[in-house]
């Protein structure tokens, strides 16, 4: 009886879905090398945020935000805002 009860309870327990991944199906070589370098070949965890507004791309990491402007089909580094975050950087460039 106990075995039947255990089997019926385990069958009734819903299986959890595996976590969704955010990794893309393809990564350009330059991006792969950038991420490899940032993580020091997997030696340290990397946390960042990014957004694009208008003709600018904003890349936030722990030390600040790098601002890029779109030019000739690619983003060129414009400025590094030490100690800033995405919200402050986007707001600052919304005025320009």
Give this prediction's pTM.
Answer: 0.70
**Where along the chain do its domains lie?**
34-91
Tell me the three-class secondary structure of the chain, residue by residue: CHHHHHHHHHHHCCCCCCCCCCCCCCCCHHHHHHHHHHCCCCCCCCCCEEEEECCEEEEEECCEEEEEEEECCEEEEEEEEECCCHHHHHHHHHCC
Residues of the chain whose pLDDT is less than 70? 1-15
CA distances from 50 to 8, 56, 93 (A): 47, 11, 15
CA distances from 83 to 24, 44, 63, 65 (A): 29, 21, 6, 7
- Confidence at residue 32, expressed as pLDDT on a 0 to 100 scale: 93
């Amino acid at each position: 009886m106990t075995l039947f009860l255990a089997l019926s309870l385990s069958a009734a327990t819903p299986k959890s879905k595996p976590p969704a991944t955010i990794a893309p199906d393809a990564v350009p070589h330059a991006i792969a090398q950038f991420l490899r370098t940032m993580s020091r070949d997997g030696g340290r965890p990397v946390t960042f945020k990014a957004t694009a507004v208008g003709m600018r791309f904003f890349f936030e990491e722990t030390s600040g935000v790098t601002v890029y402007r779109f030019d000739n089909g690619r983003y060129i580094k414009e400025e590094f805002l030490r100690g800033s975050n995405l919200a402050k950087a986007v707001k600052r460039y919304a005025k320009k």
